Chain A
Amino acid sequence: MKVIAKTGNEAMAYAMKQINPDVVAAYPITPATEVVQIFSNYVADGEVDTEFVAAESEHSALSACVGASVAGGRVMTSTASQGLALMHEILYIAAGNHLPIVIALVNRSLSAPINIHCDHSDTMGSREAGWMQFYSANSQEAYDSIIIALKVAETCGVPAIVSTDAFIISHCMDRLEVLEDEEVQKFIGEYNPKYYALDIGKPKTYGPLDLQDYFFEHKRSQIDAFSKVLGTYNKIAQEYEKLSGRYYPAVEEYRTDGAEVAIFTAGSTADTAKEVVDDLREQGRKIGLVRMRMWRPLPIEEIKKALSKFKAVAVMDRSDTMADFGGPVFLETRGILYDLDKRPIITDYVYGLGGRNVEIADIVRVYDEITEVAKTGKVSKPVTYLGVRGEE
């Protein structure tokens, strides 16, 4: 095992190098620019065998990825924010054609107003596109997730997005344990798709017009493939643990034993919240943390199991649904908990939009308020916008 110092972007680019894909087609965008830049250096220095397609836009980047993946290649790209929005149309096409492309993504807010900092509105806006979504809490997890996600994607025929938080992870130097190149290669294996467009012996039409008589069955089969992802993920994550010693459940519980309330959140904020949990636990507070790592497919049973033991749960959402009812994690979690006989009270804190810093004090406040909710059983405010001027 090798230990090196890398930023989130460097870590993801390094994982891509070790995967050594056949094609990377990409367009640089802040704060993911470095991933594309660093990978270009690997290409220029002959450290990978990859054909690098420096596309003229993210739309063309993902379109070229689709072409390369249909052709039979192992394919990756990188983007953020507006770039993912520009790819939006093609996200659905890649997924609908069962193409296991992996995007190394950095979560950044969507315009307007234009902003380059972290929130999760970009990937949350693509929840229904048919891509797996992994939200990393740090560089190490981003590195590991890229390798795991690629194998799950190729096993299931479902594309994947692995993301980090803009600047907080992407540009922050961190300690990183990396595998040897050969270990990564052995773990991911060779990619040999059953059908591919360069198979000239058996001409086929990929992406045909599919009308009322078959479209629905094909969509259903895509959903079927998606429903196999979680089981496959759990298996592959365990294999990865054997290789690396690091295990990443779809939903992570942190000090939830005996806890009466919890924060349910994702990304770097979850790592910050762990510090808060440690401090407050020392003071005897019955609190815990649940971290959502995989948000597509939804790990429904894991979420039920993790959250059902609390009296109250505060979701911290780093994006909003514009439904006038909070963020997507809040809304979907409410749906998941609906079936439980005994449900926790659940409230939402939309925080950190456009990179607004979330501090220890903010998280302490959320724990204080959700503890009060658990005590009284009363919710005065289902959705709170945390740390916004004029809000309090």
Chain B
Amino acid sequence: MASLKELAKRQEGLVGGHRACAGCGASAAIRQILLAAGDKPTVCGICTGCMEVVTTIFPFTAWNVNLVHNAFENSAATTSGMEAAYKALKRNGKISEDMNFIAFGGDGGTYDIGLQSLSGAIERGHKMLYVCYDNGAYMNTGYQRSSATPYTAHTTTSPSGSKIPGKQQKRKDLTEIIVAHNPAYAAQTTPGYYMDLIRKVEKALAADGPSFINVLSPCVPGWGYPPEQSMNISKLAVETLFWPLYEWQDGKYKINVKPREPKPVTEFLKQQARFRHIFKPGNEHLVEEIQAYVDKQWERLLGKEEASK
């Protein structure tokens, strides 16, 4: 694994000057991911969404690697096409270098509208890494709910009203959906644990086949917290077991961080305006429900790890 010192010497794949919000978790993650991939030329695809919009406003680009944007729901299919062309051009001698292929998408482009495209690309076995930067809603268009939005979170299409307290459904477990595809590698991480992120990207790119990393990416305006808190909130998601760091390969689960004394989930939720309403008197049961759900999911994950040993 590349050390911090080595990473610091690599050329940045995503440079500054783009228009992401101060404290953006997703852009920090992508920057780290491209550093981790930096030992080889990298070609990227990206869904329409926050990261595409803030980094590619013509005539500027923040990308120091080749980037292809096609549409909202098809970054997996598009990147799979690039990988197919790469194989063909390599075979007929037009290209000689080894390359990484990485597709990016937000939770809108991945959990929802692009799920079919992703499923197809993984099933077909293209050697590419798909990275979902999951910020838990359609942040680019103004914070609408997605199937990655957590239970009770306020979004502009699951608002906390006088009758309904935010989103009424639990999150879709996308990482497990991908695991069910039997890919070469799958993992969850978050940029607060940056060395975990780096290691997982290296592992994913070294895997012989399709790989997937789900990156929980705090969003300052969508989640509602001060910009300097992004990495702390990213860590709190792990320390409260809201977002376990784990990986899956060859049928085996490995949980990468097991907090000795997990913090109550309220420590993660309380930092964010999108959960403010559940701390009002009369909503105590919602907080209890969330805690119970987090505990249950954690137990299930521990069980999977144990069972696959």
State A75–B89 Cα separation when bound (angstroms). Answer: 12
B302 close to chain A: CB less than 8 A: no
Q: Report yes or no: B58 in contact with A211, Cβ–Cβ below 8 A.
A: yes
Contacting A at CB under 8 A, from B68-120, are 68-71, 73-74, 76-89, 91-92, 94-95, 97, 99, 116-117, 119-120
B294 close to chain A: CB less than 8 A: no
Q: Report yes or no: A200 in contact with B99, Cβ–Cβ below 8 A.
A: yes
Name which residue of chain A comes closest to B95, CB basis.
Answer: A198
Query: Could you jot down 27 A-B contacts, CB within 8 Å?
Result: A22-B85, A23-B81, A23-B84, A53-B81, A55-B120, A56-B123, A59-B73, A59-B74, A60-B76, A60-B77, A60-B120, A61-B77, A63-B81, A64-B80, A67-B84, A68-B82, A75-B85, A90-B70, A90-B71, A93-B71, A203-B67, A205-B61, A205-B69, A206-B69, A209-B53, A209-B56, A214-B59
Out of A50, A90, A206, A214, name the residue touching B74 (CB < 8 Å): A90
Name which residue of chain B comes closest to A210, CB basis.
Answer: B58
Residues of A within 8 A of B57 (CB): 208-209, 211
State A60–B70 Cα separation when bound (angstroms). Answer: 11
Residues of B within 8 A of A57 (CB): 116-117, 120
State A93–B82 Cα separation when bound (angstroms). Answer: 16
Question: Least Cβ distance of A194 to chain B in Å?
Answer: 14
Name which residue of chain A comes closest to B91, CB basis.
Answer: A49
State A54–B84 Cα separation when bound (angstroms). Answer: 11
Number of interface residues of A (CB under 8 A): 43
Q: Report yes or no: A25 in contact with B65, Cβ–Cβ below 8 A.
A: no
A-side residues, CB < 8 A to B, are: 22-23, 25, 49-51, 53-57, 59-61, 63-73, 75, 89-90, 93, 197-200, 203-211, 214
Supplied contacts A57-B117, A71-B89, A207-B56, 11 more A-B pairs, CB within 8 Å? A51-B87, A55-B77, A55-B120, A56-B116, A61-B77, A63-B78, A67-B81, A69-B81, A73-B85, A204-B67, A207-B68
Residues of B within 8 A of A64 (CB): 77-78, 80-81, 84
Residues of B within 8 A of A23 (CB): 81, 84-85, 88
Contacting A at CB under 8 A, from B23-70, are 41, 43, 45, 52-53, 56-59, 61, 63-70
State A56–B65 Cα separation when bound (angstroms). Answer: 28
Q: Report yes or no: B56 in contact with A205, Cβ–Cβ below 8 A.
A: yes
Q: Report yes or no: A59 in contact with B67, Cβ–Cβ below 8 A.
A: no
B124 close to chain A: CB less than 8 A: yes
State A211–B124 Cα separation when bound (angstroms). Answer: 36
Known pairs A90-B70, A207-B68; A22 contacts B88 (CB<8 A): yes
Question: Least Cβ distance of A7 to chain B in Å?
Answer: 28
B-side residues, CB < 8 A to A, are: 41, 43, 45, 52-53, 56-59, 61, 63-71, 73-74, 76-89, 91-92, 94-95, 97, 99, 116-117, 119-121, 123-124
Q: Report yes or no: A59 in contact with B97, Cβ–Cβ below 8 A.
A: no
Known pairs A49-B92, A54-B124; A59 contacts B85 (CB<8 A): no
Question: Least Cβ distance of A20 to chain B in Å?
Answer: 10
Name which residue of chain A comes closest to B42, CB basis.
Answer: A200
Q: Report yes or no: B66 in contact with A59, Cβ–Cβ below 8 A.
A: no
Q: Report yes or no: B86 in contact with A71, Cβ–Cβ below 8 A.
A: yes
State A306–B40 Cα separation when bound (angstroms). Answer: 58
Q: Report yes or no: A56 in contact with B86, Cβ–Cβ below 8 A.
A: no
Q: Report yes or no: A206 in contact with B66, Cβ–Cβ below 8 A.
A: yes
State A207–B80 Cα separation when bound (angstroms). Answer: 17
Residues of B within 8 A of A50 (CB): 88
Name which residue of chain B comes closest to A54, CB basis.
Answer: B124
Q: Report yes or no: B77 in contact with A70, Cβ–Cβ below 8 A.
A: no
Residues of B within 8 A of A73 (CB): 84-85, 88-89
Known pairs A59-B74, A208-B69, A214-B58; A198 contacts B81 (CB<8 A): no
Q: Report yes or no: A200 in contact with B120, Cβ–Cβ below 8 A.
A: no
